[in-house]
Amino acid sequence: MFDIIIKNGRVFDGSGNPWTKLDIGIQNGKISFLGDLSAEEADQVIDAAGMAVSPGFIDPHVHSDLLCTVPEIHKIKALQGVTTELFGQDGISVAPVSEETKPLWQQQLKGLNGDIGEWPWNSIEEYLTFLENAKMIGNAAYMVPHGAVRTLVMGFDGRTATVEEMAKMRELVEEGMRQGAVGVSTGLVYPPNVFSDKEELIEICKGAAKYDGCFVVHIRNESIHSLTALDEVIDVARQSGVRLQISHFKVIGISNREKFKLALEKMDQARAEGIEISFDQYPYTAASTVFHAILPPWMHSGGTEEMLERLTRPEVRKQISEEFKTNKDYENWVLNCGWENIIITSVQTAENKALEGKSVIEIAELKGKTPEDTAFDLLIEERGSITMVIHWGLEEDVLLGMCHPLQMVGSDGIFGGKPHPRLTGTFPRVLGKYVREVGALTLEEAIRKMTSAPAQLMRLADRGLIKLGYQADLVVFDPETVADCGTFSNPLVEPAGIHHVVVNGQLTVHNGEYTGARAGQVIRAVGAPPEFCPFF
């Protein structure tokens, strides 16, 4: 007697192999039988005739770190087949903190990660225990965020670290790895990470490499200086021995397109050298992040409150306005993409809610201001808690990255307001548009990029494949109808074609509807040197 039997489906095991015909028996949260179960019984039988059955999708880049505790908001991930997510992205997340740094991060992250009230944790261990007690819908792993450990050592100071400070940061990274983190992350355009140099990155990555952790990085520049920025982190991996993952890989701006192919070639060369490098990518030609990322790095020294105070000064506004037009030394979204391609997606105040979904140019016209003053005033009114979408490139480049063997699918989904539709549609969009309609990928390869590839990155011992004894994280979908339905103007529409999702042996989505199950688990790395790790 099984808890669940999935029968008659075409089983794609996640390895990239062609599909096979198997029934799947699930018992006590695990895959307990693969074969003919036509004569067997179960509490729940799912007839998957005409359907594809795959491992649960693993999203290696998300911002669900807080709102995973709110099922009515977070269920959209399960509804598109995602059963596991990797938290702690871009070096800016919720633990570790102290009583001194916690308020800084609560303010800094409100626009990106949402607000659930007080944070009853300081350490990574305490945060992971909080998630376990919150009973999540899906599974979560965590990375040590560079910015969090940096602020514990040196606050939001806009300077490079001393040798002693780097050593303390490495100690904190190692402590986080022992508490269950699977790697370390940074976002080199976000404060305070933006103030670090390569030596600091090498030191913190040595702390992750000691435990076979990965280094997941939003590189320092994704536009004019993207190749130099990529060289920097490849050399960090070379010198530290860490495994390297490039976050949401792209090259911003039509004028920089030729760098996309060159960047892929650099990654291939690094692999040939023996550096384990890969990248995640979302299937859209638009990005999304916090709105204050438009500002030059020096504006972020000292944290949000100091940034907002500077924005009240006329001489500072004048200087930034000039830098928007001329400064090529930082990730200048305004220069590379233009105000007309920067869309406000979420704000905190009721007074500005009507602005969600409008470009900065449109808002400026409504208010009778320049785009620059419009941006500065919005940041002050919203206390910095704004997100944006930026249209940056062309479909041909998305396809070029998607078809590369080092690519894996990642959403970089951000909740709140009128978000980027990648939050609701990333995985169905790949399966529907790029597999069925465009034919850019085979179904087997697309599933590999959503399952075993991110499982390998995270060193997951029992997820990402359909194998006996593995955790029963599974998706049943219709290859002929699966599709993303959200758009930039109406992004919160649920996807089509995802019929059933099982998380740790519990039916979480049934006939396309969320069941209310909350069977997610926190996935901790074992916190021991790699020779003792039971990872594949």
Q: Are 121 and 240 found together in one domain?
A: yes
d(CA 208, CA 175): 10
**Would 226 be classed as within a structural domain?**
yes
Looking at residue 18, the DSSP 8-state letter turns out to be: P
d(CA 418, CA 492): 8
155-211 pLDDT, tens digit each: 999 999 999 999 999 999 999 999 999 999 999 999 999 999 999 999 999 999 999
The per-residue pLDDT for 532 is 42
Over residues 479-493, the mean pLDDT reads 97
Give the residue from 129, 2, 9 showing the smallest Cα distance to 477.
9
Mark which of 391, 407, 438 sits at the end of a domain.
Answer: 391
Which residues share a beta bridge with 280? Answer: 408
Q: Are 206 and 86 found together in one domain?
A: yes
Q: Tell me, yes or no, if the pTM score tops 0.85.
A: yes
The per-residue pLDDT for 79 is 98
Helix (H), strand (E) at residue 148? helix 146-154
Share of the chain above pLDDT 90, in %: 96
Q: Are 379 and 397 found together in one domain?
A: no
Here the tokens at position 86 are 């990797």
Q: Are 179 and 224 found together in one domain?
A: yes
Terminal-to-terminal C-alpha distance of the chain: 31
Instruction: Categorize the per-residue pLDDT at 526 as very low, low, confident or very high, splitting at 50, 70 and 90.
Output: confident
**Would 29 be classed as within a structural domain?**
no
d(CA 84, CA 56): 7
Question: b/e string for 310-324 if b means 16 or more Cβ within 10 A?
Answer: bbeeeebbebbbebb
The per-residue pLDDT for 531 is 45
Over residues 227-253, the mean pLDDT reads 97
**Would 509 be classed as within a structural domain?**
no
Number of neighbouring beta carbons within 10 Å of residue 417? 20
Q: Which domain holds residue 163?
A: 57-285+393-459+466-484
**Would 496 be classed as within a structural domain?**
no
The per-residue pLDDT for 310 is 97
Say how many domains are in the chain.
2
d(CA 389, CA 306): 25
